[in-house]
């Protein structure tokens, strides 16, 4: 009887160890000051701290649901996808939009929420450019402007693609907060950012200099669902993560996390 | 067994194989129809789950986002500080930028108009807060339009589900009808099968059972109605052949019995048969206290007749004697050729005196009867008889006493009847 009990205990221990996988998780930061810090120690005064908090809480909840012991790394956007591809990170929480070039490199989880992209700038700049191009400023009409975008993002990829024909100067930044800093220092005329990120940054800007300019866009790979990325060959992990996403959405955990940091829950 | 007559009749195996085949085809067709309906239901359910429900959720989100847009617009008008208005405006822009709104043309136009109106209102209010009141009626109209759009979108989403659910309910109703049809088909087939089994198998078998149970050679051959199945017809024929064989065997048995119990020359019963019958008759008479008598008769000088005229003449005398005797005694009397020219008699229900009259009359008749021999010669033969009462003694004793009386008749000069003295 004792021997049987020992076998059961050992089996339980081993199954627990096997299930409690060790995972390295990359969490997107919005400001350079947030990099290489612990999620619960992030200074709330830093730009985009709410966004990081949402991503961080969601990442921890997913880890808990898949019974994994996760180590969290707070890194700029441009490091996440190469890190996942190279195996340094098992999961990349960077709200990645789907793109053919990315699909070749990494796998995608099921959607987390839906997003779009929108230009940000000052009303003065927007008005000046409207006069210059003879029509209201939009992503489709914008010409001859300096536009900041997150390095490695779809926004940057889009701008790079049209920069030549529209005489645009693309200014990649490591974080979204830096993109706003460039705007503030008049180093750029506009920034093209994901709508949620843009909202988080300009609504917390005490000077309230910035507004959304032109309509939001989802075409050209600039909108629709945001995902977690992970290594292509880790199909079991992807299935587990997808189950966890379905669970947190079904039981309202996802919406509660959103509501803790945003006035509305847009999913 | 297959016969020429049976060739036009279907065998039971073939008939039931055809029935089973027809049933399998019909049932298979119904099952196939059910499968089609089930596939339809599954398709509708899958479409509902994979397409319609997500679509409904999208519509719900869109409606919720438009409501949120309306709510934030209302907040902008009710805010007292510029910062609050700006925050509300940021949220309006955030909601208006959501893909759920951007992918719906009417919602996009509505959100764009709302956003532009609110931006303009915010700019005017920054310079003159009273503009909020002035522009509020227009906002109410925009808000009303947005409410109507929300209603339309909600109904549109609900209609998606209604159409799919109607489709599914219709398929389910069709499935229920088909299922009832299948049940009716199975029930009908079982009834038909039972009726056919009863008509063509059970009832014919019952008739055959009754006929075989009461099969008797004394009864006429069984008659069966024309059977539809080859096997039943074959059994009917076999029962008829069996009855015919039984009748034939019975006739043969009777012939053999007759041959075994009769004397071949005279046609009278033989000694063994006489003894068995006489024993039984004496027991019966003695049980009921009825009179009975036995007699032994012997043709006088028969050996000399044989020696003189030959055995053929002897045979003629014996046959003539038997014929005459048969005409002279009662139906109930037993007479047998006891051996050679000796004959035994049994007279049931007759006292010795009554029997004496009978045998005496016969003795005289025989003695006066001319017998024509094969060569045309006429001869007369006499008969000696010993008679004894058998009412109170066993057959053997009665015969022994009759034999003594016969011997006495011979000794006293032949051609006479001597009655044995009563035994004491």
Look at residue B105 and tell me if it is in a domain: yes
Same domain, A212 and A241: no
Residue A12 has pLDDT above 60, yes or no: no
Same domain, B142 and B277: no
Same domain, B71 and B220: yes
Looking at B233, B261, B289, the residue that finishes a domain is B261
Chain pair A-B, CB pairs under 8 angstroms: 51
Nearest to A114 among B87, B96, B99 (CB): B99
Same domain, B22 and B105: yes
- Per residue in B218-243, pLDDT (tens digit) is 888 888 888 888 888 888 888 889 98
- B95 interface with A at CB cutoff 8 Å: yes
How far is the alpha carbon of B148 from chain A, nearest alpha carbon, in Å? 22
Residue B386 is part of a domain; what is its CATH number?
3.30.70.270
Look at residue A266 and tell me if it is in a domain: no
Q: What angle do CA B318, B321, B325 make, to 5 degrees?
A: 140
Looking at B240, B261, B282, the residue that finishes a domain is B261
Same domain, A190 and A99: no
Q: Rounded distance, CA B133 to CA B155, Å?
A: 33
Q: State residue A17's pLDDT score.
A: 43
Same domain, A153 and A61: no
Q: How many domains does chain A have?
A: 2
Look at residue B101 and tell me if it is in a domain: yes
Report the interhelical angle of A253-261 vs A49-65 (nearest 10°).
Answer: 160
Residue of B nearest to A206 (CA): B83
Same domain, B273 and B329: yes
Same domain, A64 and A85: yes
Provide the residue range defining the domain that includes A33: 2-115+224-261
Q: State residue B7's pLDDT score.
A: 64
Pairwise CB contact (< 8 Å): A266 & B98: yes
Residue written as tokens 């907040």? B75
- pLDDT range class, residue B349, cuts 50, 70, 90: very high
Provide the residue range defining the domain that includes B288: 267-419
Residue written as tokens 């071949």? B264
Q: Rounded distance, CA B211 to CA A35, Å?
A: 107
Same domain, A256 and A188: no
Look at residue B424 and tell me if it is in a domain: no
- B372 interface with A at CB cutoff 8 Å: no
Same domain, A179 and A127: yes
B199-227 mean pLDDT: 86
Same domain, B279 and B369: yes
Instruction: Supply A79's token pair.
Output: 């490091």
A125-151 mean pLDDT: 93
Same domain, A111 and A228: yes
- Name which of A144-158, A238-252, B314-328 the model is least confident about: B314-328
Q: Which region, left, alpha or beta, applies to residue A184 given φ > 0 means left and ψ of -120 to 50 means alpha? A: alpha
Same domain, B298 and B214: no
How far is the alpha carbon of A192 from chain B, nearest alpha carbon, in Å? 13
Q: How many domains does chain B have?
A: 2
Same domain, B281 and B241: no
Same domain, B274 and B385: yes
Same domain, A228 and A185: no
Same domain, B137 and B238: yes
B32-52 mean pLDDT: 85
Q: Which of B342, B335, B312 is nearest to B403 (CA)?
A: B342
- pLDDT range class, residue A16, cuts 50, 70, 90: very low
The highest-confidence range among A191-195, B185-189, B217-221, B235-239, by mean pLDDT, is: A191-195
Pairwise CB contact (< 8 Å): A264 & B68: yes
Residue of B nearest to A214 (CA): B112
Look at residue A267 and tell me if it is in a domain: no
B341 is catalytic: yes
Look at residue A87 and tell me if it is in a domain: yes
Pairwise CB contact (< 8 Å): B93 & A224: no
Same domain, B124 and B196: yes
- B87 contact residues in A (CB cutoff 8 A): 203
Q: State residue A19's pLDDT score.
A: 55
Q: State residue B167's pLDDT score.
A: 82
- pLDDT range class, residue A3, cuts 50, 70, 90: low
Same domain, A142 and A92: no
If one compares A54 and B10, the residue with the highest pLDDT of the two is A54
Q: State residue B124's pLDDT score.
A: 93
- Per residue in B289-338, pLDDT (tens digit) is 999 999 999 999 999 999 999 999 999 999 999 999 888 888 889 999 99
Residue A34 has pLDDT above 80, yes or no: no
Same domain, A55 and A149: no
Same domain, B327 and B411: yes
- Per residue in B55-114, pLDDT (tens digit) is 888 888 889 899 999 999 999 999 888 889 999 999 999 999 998 899 899 999 999 999
Residue B1 has pLDDT above 50, yes or no: no
How far is the alpha carbon of B94 from chain A, nearest alpha carbon, in Å? 6
Q: State residue B4's pLDDT score.
A: 54
Q: Rounded distance, CA A46 to CA A37, Å?
A: 12
Q: Which of A49, A27, A242, A267 is nearest to B60 (CA)?
A: A267
Look at residue B289 and tell me if it is in a domain: yes
Looking at B211, B232, B261, the residue that finishes a domain is B261
Pairwise CB contact (< 8 Å): A195 & B61: no
Give the predicted TM-score (pTM) of the model: 0.62
- B61 contact residues in A (CB cutoff 8 A): 267
- Name which of A130-134, A162-166, B36-40, B147-151 the model is least confident about: B36-40
Q: Rounded distance, CA B215 to CA B221, Å?
A: 8
Same domain, B187 and B201: yes
Same domain, A55 and A101: yes
- B99 interface with A at CB cutoff 8 Å: yes
């Amino acid at each position: 009887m004792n021997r049987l009990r020992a076998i059961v205990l050992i089996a339980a221990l081993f199954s627990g160890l096997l299930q409690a996988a060790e995972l390295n998780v990359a969490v997107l930061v919005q400001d350079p000051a947030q990099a290489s810090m612990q999620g619960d120690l992030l200074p709330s005064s830093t730009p985009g701290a709410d966004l990081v908090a949402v991503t961080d809480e969601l990442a921890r909840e997913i880890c808990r649901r898949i019974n994994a012991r996760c180590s969290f790394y707070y890194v700029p956007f441009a490091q996440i996808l190469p890190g996942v591809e190279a195996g340094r990170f098992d999961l990349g929480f960077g709200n990645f939009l789907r793109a053919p070039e990315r699909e070749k490199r990494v796998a995608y989880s099921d959607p987390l929420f839906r997003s779009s992209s929108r230009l940000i700038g000052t009303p003065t700049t927007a008005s000046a450019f409207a006069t210059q191009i003879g029509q209201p400023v939009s992503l489709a009409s914008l010409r001859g402007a300096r536009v900041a975008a997150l390095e490695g993002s779809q926004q940057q990829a889009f701008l790079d693609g049209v920069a030549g024909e529209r005489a645009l100067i693309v200014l990649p930044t490591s974080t979204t907060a830096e993109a706003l800093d460039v705007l503030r220092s008049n180093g750029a005329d506009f920034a093209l950012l994901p709508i949620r990120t843009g909202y988080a940054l300009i609504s917390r800007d005490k000077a309230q200099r910035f507004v959304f300019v032109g309509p939001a866009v989802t075409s050209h790979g600039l909108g629709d669902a945001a995902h977690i990325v992970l290594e292509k060959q880790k199909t079991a992990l992807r299935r587990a993560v997808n189950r966890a996403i379905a669970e947190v959405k079904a039981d309202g955990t996802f919406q509660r996390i959103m509501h803790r940091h945003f006035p509305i829950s847009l999913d | 067994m297959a016969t020429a007559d049976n060739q036009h009749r279907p065998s039971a195996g073939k008939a039931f194989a055809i029935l089973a085949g027809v049933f399998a085809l019909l049932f298979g067709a119904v099952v196939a129809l059910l499968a089609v309906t089930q596939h339809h239901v599954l398709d509708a359910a899958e479409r509902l789950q994979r397409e319609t429900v997500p679509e409904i959720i999208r519509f719900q989100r869109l409606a919720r986002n438009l409501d949120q847009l309306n709510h934030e617009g209302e907040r902008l008008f009710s805010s007292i500080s510029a910062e609050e208005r700006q925050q509300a405006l940021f949220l309006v822009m955030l909601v208006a930028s959501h893909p759920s709104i951007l992918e719906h043309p009417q919602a996009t136009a509505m959100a764009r108009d709302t956003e532009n109106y609110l931006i303009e209102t915010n700019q005017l209010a920054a310079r003159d807060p009273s503009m909020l009141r002035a522009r509020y009626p227009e906002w109410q109209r925009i808000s009303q339009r947005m409410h109507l759009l929300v209603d339309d979108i909600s109904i549109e989403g609900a209609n998606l589900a209604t159409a799919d659910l109607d489709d599914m309910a219709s398929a389910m109703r069709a499935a229920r009808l088909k299922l009832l049809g299948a049940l009716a088909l199975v029930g009908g087939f079982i009834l038909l099968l039972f009726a056919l089994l009863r008509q063509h198998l059970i009832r014919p078998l019952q008739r055959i059972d009754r006929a075989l149970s009461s099969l008797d050679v004394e009864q006429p051959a069984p008659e069966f109605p024309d059977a539809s199945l080859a096997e039943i017809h074959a059994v009917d024929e076999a029962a008829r052949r069996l009855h015919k064989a039984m009748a034939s065997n019975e006739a043969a048995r009777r012939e053999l019995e007759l041959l075994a119990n009769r004397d071949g020359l005279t046609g009278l019963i033989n000694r063994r048969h006489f003894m068995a019958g006489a024993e039984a008759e004496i027991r019966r008479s003695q049980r009921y206290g009825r009179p009975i008598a036995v007699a032994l008769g012997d043709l006088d000088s028969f050996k000399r007749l044989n020696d003189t005229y030959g055995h053929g003449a002897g045979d003629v005398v014996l046959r003539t004697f038997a014929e005459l005797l048969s005409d002279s005694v009662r139906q109930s009397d037993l007479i047998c050729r006891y051996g050679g020219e000796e004959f035994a008699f049994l007279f049931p229900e007759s006292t010795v005196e009554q029997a004496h009259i009978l045998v005496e009359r016969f003795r005289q008749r025989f003695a006066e009867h001319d017998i024509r021999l094969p060569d045309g010669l006429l001869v007369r033969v006499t008969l000696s008889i010993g008679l004894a009462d058998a009412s109170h003694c066993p057959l053997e004793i009665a015969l022994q006493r009759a034999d003594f009386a016969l011997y006495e008749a011979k000794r006293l000069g032949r051609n006479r009847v001597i009655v044995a003295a009563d035994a004491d």
